[in-house]
A and B are shown apart, each in its own frame.
Chain A
Amino acid sequence: GAGVSQSPSNKVTEKGKDVELRCDPISGHTALYWYRQSLGQGLEFLIYFQGNSAPDKSGLPSDRFSAERTGESVSTLTIQRTQQEDSAVYLCASSLAPGSPETQYFGPGTRLLVL
C-alpha cells in the first residue's frame, strides 16, 4: 500500500489565521508522530498518538497547537492564530507500534509559510 501521506503539501497563510494540517498514516500503523523541521533546527518532536489517545504532548510549543486522531487513522494538527515563527515543515510519521523506531516511516511534509 501507499506510504504516509500529508496534505496540503504547501500552505501559505497570513499571521493570525488558523491552519489545519492532515496526515494519513500507513494502514495498520497504530503509532503516529508529528515533528516540526525548521531551518537549522533539525526535527523537533511535537506529539505522539497511540490509537486515538495522545500519551505524549510534551513537544507542542504552545497552547495554540493542538492535534487529534480518529481511531488508528487520519490525524489533524491545528495551529491557531499563526505566528511567523510557526513557519516550518511539519512532518508526520507512523510506525507499527510504539517503541519500534525501525518501523517509523515519514510523510513528505507540509511546508507552512506564515506571512
Chain B
Amino acid sequence: QKEVEQDPGPLSVPEGAIVSLNCTYSNSAFQYFMWYRQYSRKGPELLMYTYSSGNKEDGRFTAQVDKSSKYISLFIRDSQPSDSATYLCAAFTGGGNKLTFGTGTQLKVEL
C-alpha cells in the first residue's frame, strides 16, 4: 500500500463547477500537506501547503486536512479551463527531507 493514495481520474467537469480532489494517507508522522499542479510536459508547481489539520484558502482554492481521518482535500471554486491539469497531493514529515506524492488526479474543465 502506498503511503499517499489518490484517485487518478480522469475527472471532467463543466466550467464554473466546484471541484473536489482528495487523497488519503497512512503515515501518522506526516505533518505538512501540499498540493501541486502539473501541466502537460511541465514540472509540478506548488499551489498550497498546510501544516497539521485545518483549512487554508487562497483565491478560488481551499486546502483541507483532517488528520483524524488522514484525509486531504483540495477544492476549486468557479473552475476554469485553465485549471485543466494534473493535481498531485504530497505529504512531508517535517523531520525528513523528501516529499511523498500521490499518483495525481487528471482534471479537465470543459467549456
Binding site for B on A (CB under 8 A): 4, 31, 33, 35, 40-45, 48, 50, 55-56, 59, 91, 93, 98-99, 101-102, 104-109, 111
Binding site for A on B (CB under 8 A): 2, 4, 6, 8, 32, 34, 36, 41-46, 49, 88, 90, 92, 94-104
- Mostly helix, strand, loop or mixed at chain A's interface? strand
With known contacts A4-B43, A43-B88, A108-B41, A48–B98 Cβ distance under 8 A: yes
Which residue of the partner chain B has the closest CB to A49? B97
A9 to chain B: closest CB distance in Å? Answer: 9
Cβ–Cβ contact B101 & A101, under 8 A: no
Cβ–Cβ contact A43 & B6, under 8 A: no
A32 to chain B: closest CB distance in Å? Answer: 11
Which residue of the partner chain B has the closest CB to A55? B97
With known contacts A43-B101, A48-B98, A101-B34, A106–B43 Cβ distance under 8 A: yes
